[in-house]
Amino acid sequence: NNNMVKICCIGAGYVGGPTMAVIALKCPAIEVVVVDISIARINAWNSDQLPIYEPGLDDVVKQCRGKNLFFSHEVEKHVFEADIIFVSVNTPTKTCGLGAGKAADLTYWESAARMIGNVSKSDKIVVEKSTVPVRTAEAIEKILTHNNKGVNYQILSNPEFLAEGTAIQDLFNPDRVLIGGRKTPEGQKAVQTLKDVYTQWVPEDRVITANLWSAELSKLAANAFLAQRISSVNAISALCEATGADVAEVAYCIGKDSRIGPKFLNASVGFGGSCFQKDILNLVYICECNGLPEVANYWKQVIKINDYQKSRFVSRVVAPMFNTVSGKKIAVLGFAFKKDTGDTRETPAIDVCKGLLGNNASISIYDPQVTEDQIQRDLTMNKFDWDHPIHLQPMSPTTVKQVSVASDAYEAAKGAHAICILTEWDEFKGLDYQKIYGNMKKPAFLFDGRNVVDVEKLREIGFIVYSIGKPLDPWLLQDVSVVD
C-alpha cells in the first residue's frame, strides 16, 4: 500500500545518508531522494568515495543508487515532490547567544522548516529525524501553519538510534523504531503511513508508537542513560586504580546481573561522538528552563566525570615520565571517537592531544580512517565549532607544528618515548609490539585508553604500561597522587 510514496530527506549526513539508503534497499517501491545544501557532500554521495566511512554502507548504496535512491542538491524541487519529508539536519550546541554552550542550535532545523513551508503545494508528513529538544514539533508546526497556503502538515517524531561504526547493522535490525505523533485521526494516519515503511523489514512489535513529546524526550533520555553508564564505569575505573581492583573484572561481575546487563560497560579514556555530550547539555538546558536545577545538576555530572577521565588520562601520561613531556615525541594511536568510523566529532583524542600539547609534547598521530587535514582542523578549532557543517567553516589557516601524522603505527612510534592508544581499532591488538619497543626511547611507556593491549605481555617485553582501571605498574605506583 506504499506504492509510489515519495520520500525526501533533508540532510545527507551520518544519519540521513545511511538511514535513507537502508529504506531504499528495503522498500524498492519507494523513491528516496536525499538532499543537502552542501554540494560537495552530495557529489561525494554520487561518487565512489562516499563522504562517510561506515562498514557495509558502500554495498547498500551501490545496490540502490540510481534505481530508487538519489542524492541531489536540488533541495526545493524534491521537497515539493515528496509525500514524506525526513529532516535530518545537524542540531549542534549553540556557540553564542542565549543558552550558548548548552542549548541546541535549531538554526538549520528552522531554515529547513521555513523552506518546506515555502515550497509545499501538497499535504506533507514532516518527520523529525534529527535529535531535537522536547516540544520542537510544536515549534515546527507553528512555522509551517503560520505560513500555510492550504497545505496540511503532520509532524512526526522518529528519532534515530543507530550508532556509528555499526549503522547498517543497527538499521537492518533495530532494537526498536520509535514513532511519535498527534493523537488526532490525521496524526494517527500519518503514524501508520510511516509505520508501513518500517514494517517492510522491521518486525511489527519493534515499532513503538508514542505521543510526540515522549518520542522526542526518549531520544535525549536514551543517550543520557547510555552516557551515564560509561561515566559510571569510568568513575569506578579511578577507584580500581587506587585500590588494585581491575575494572574489567568489576564490569564483568556487575554486568552478570540481568538487571544491569553486560553491554556498554567498557571503561575508556572518555566517551566522544557527536551525540552524547551535545544531547546531555541539551537535556540539562531543558531541565533548567523548566525550573529543575537538581535534575539538571544530576545529568551535568555525567559530563563532568567524562571531562575528569580525559584530564586524568593526560596526568597519568605526564606524571610517570618524570613529570615532563616537553619536547618528547609521543605516539597517538587512534584519533576517531570509536573504531570503524572516520568521525572525530568530540573525540576524546582532541582533549588528550590538546592536553599533551599544553605540556609541550610533540605528537605523532596515526589513525586508519582520519586524514591529516581533519586532525589539524580538530586541534585548532574552538569547542563546539566542530558541529557546524564543514562547508560553513573557514579552513584553519594555521596548523599545529608539534603535530605530525604518520601513515602507520610503527612510523608513529619510531623514536617515541611513549604511546597512547586512544581508539580501539582492531589492528592495534595485533601490532608487533616487540618491534615497536625496539625502536622507542627507553624507558618506553604505553598508555592504553581503550583496554586494547595485553598488559602482561607488554610488561614482559619491557614496556611500562598503564591501562585504564587496571592494577598499576610498580613504576606508576610511585606517583599515586596524580594532581593537576
Binding site for ligand NAD (CB under 6 A): 10-16, 35-38, 41, 75, 88-91, 108, 111-112, 130-131, 160, 162, 164, 274-275, 389
Interface residue with ligand UDX, options 161, 201, 308, 437 (CB under 6 A): 161
Task: Name the binder of 15 from ligand NAD, ligand UDX, none, CB < 5-8 A by kind.
Answer: ligand NAD
Interface residue with ligand UDX, options 174, 272, 368, 449 (CB under 6 A): 272
Match 488526532 to its residue by C-alpha cell: 184
Was 14 annotated as part of a binding site?
A: yes
Q: Which stretch binds ligand UDX (CB under 6 A): 74-82, 160-168, 187-195, 401-409?
A: 160-168
- Which residue, 336 or 431, is less far from ligand UDX as judged by CB? 336
φ, ψ of residue 129 in degrees (nearest 5) = -100, -35
Interface residue with ligand UDX, options 126, 265, 286, 356 (CB under 6 A): 265
3-class DSSP string for 314-379: HHHHHCCCCCCCCCCEEEEECCCCCCCCCCCCCCHHHHHHHHHHHCCCEEEEECCCCCHHHHHHHH
Was 13 annotated as part of a binding site?
A: yes
- Smallest gap from residue 160 Cβ to ligand NAD (A): 4
275 in catalytic set: yes
Note whether 126 and 87 are within 8 A (CB).
Answer: yes
Task: Measure the CA–CA gap between 479 and 457, rounded to whole angstroms.
Answer: 23
Task: Name the binder of 180 from ligand UDX, ligand NAD, none, CB < 5-8 A by kind.
Answer: none
Was 126 annotated as part of a binding site?
A: no
Task: Measure the CA–CA gap between 454 and 448, rounded to whole angstroms.
Answer: 10
- Which residue, 38 or 237, is less far from ligand NAD as judged by CB? 38
Is 273 a residue that touches ligand UDX (CB under 6 A)? Answer: yes
Sign of CA dihedral 112, 177, 266, 433: negative
Q: Which stretch binds ligand UDX (CB under 6 A): 62-70, 155-163, 299-307, 470-478?
A: 155-163
Task: Name the binder of 16 from ligand UDX, ligand NAD, none, CB < 5-8 A by kind.
Answer: ligand NAD
Note whether 410 and 322 are within 8 A (CB).
Answer: no
- Smallest gap from residue 89 Cβ to ligand UDX (A): 16
Question: Residue 248 region, left (φ>0) first, then alpha (ψ -120 to 50), else beta?
Answer: alpha
Task: Name the binder of 271 from ligand UDX, ligand NAD, none, CB < 5-8 A by kind.
Answer: ligand UDX
Match 615525541 to its residue by C-alpha cell: 329
Is 162 a residue that touches ligand UDX (CB under 6 A)? Answer: yes
Q: Of 472, 450, 453, which Cα lies nearest the Cα of 266?
A: 450
Task: Measure the CA–CA gap between 1 and 471, rounded to whole angstroms.
Answer: 60
Is 164 a residue that touches ligand UDX (CB under 6 A)? Answer: yes
Task: Say how many residues touch ligand UDX, by CB under 6 A.
Answer: 19
Note whether 482 and 316 are within 8 A (CB).
Answer: yes
Was 459 annotated as part of a binding site?
A: no
Interface residue with ligand UDX, options 38, 237, 268, 344 (CB under 6 A): 268
Q: Which residues of 150-162 are buried (b: 16+ CB within 10 A; e: fewer)?
A: ebebbbbbbbbbb
Was 83 annotated as part of a binding site?
A: no
Crossing angle of helices 276-289 and 212-243, in 10° steps, is 120
Question: Can you list the pairs that 161-166 forms with residues at least 24 positions away whose Cβ atoms lie under 8 Å?
Answer: 161/219, 161/222, 162/15, 162/18, 162/19, 164/14, 164/54, 164/273, 164/337, 164/338, 164/340, 164/341, 164/343, 165/54, 165/55, 165/338, 165/339, 165/340, 165/341, 166/55, 166/340
Window 332-371: contact mask with ligand UDX (x via CB under 6 A): -----xx---------------------------------
Window 210-249: contact mask with ligand UDX (x via CB under 6 A): -------------x--x---x-------------------
Q: Of 387, 210, 180, which Cα lies nearest the Cα of 282?
A: 387
- Which residue, 164 or 351, is less far from ligand UDX as judged by CB? 164
Residue 288: CB atoms within 10 A of its CB come to 17
Task: Measure the CA–CA gap between 345 and 384, rounded to whole angstroms.
Answer: 9
Crossing angle of helices 212-243 and 136-146, in 10° steps, is 150
- Smallest gap from residue 273 Cβ to ligand UDX (A): 3
Write down the catalytic residue from 275, 287, 353, 420. Answer: 275
- Which residue, 18 or 273, is less far from ligand UDX as judged by CB? 273
- Which residue, 125 or 236, is less far from ligand NAD as judged by CB? 125
Task: Name the binder of 37 from ligand UDX, ligand NAD, none, CB < 5-8 A by kind.
Answer: ligand NAD
Q: Give residues with Cβ within 8 angstroms of 172, minimum separation 6.
A: 22, 201
- Smallest gap from residue 432 Cβ to ligand UDX (A): 25
Q: Which residues are catalytic?
A: 275
Return residues touching ligand UDX (CB under 6 A).
160-164, 223, 226, 230, 264-266, 268, 271-273, 275-276, 337-338
User: Can you say which residues are annotated as belonging to the binding site for NAD(+)?
Assistant: 11-16, 36, 41, 89-93, 130-131, 164, 275-278, 345
User: Can you say which residues are annotated as belonging to the binding site?
Assistant: 11-16, 36, 41, 89-93, 130-131, 164, 275-278, 345
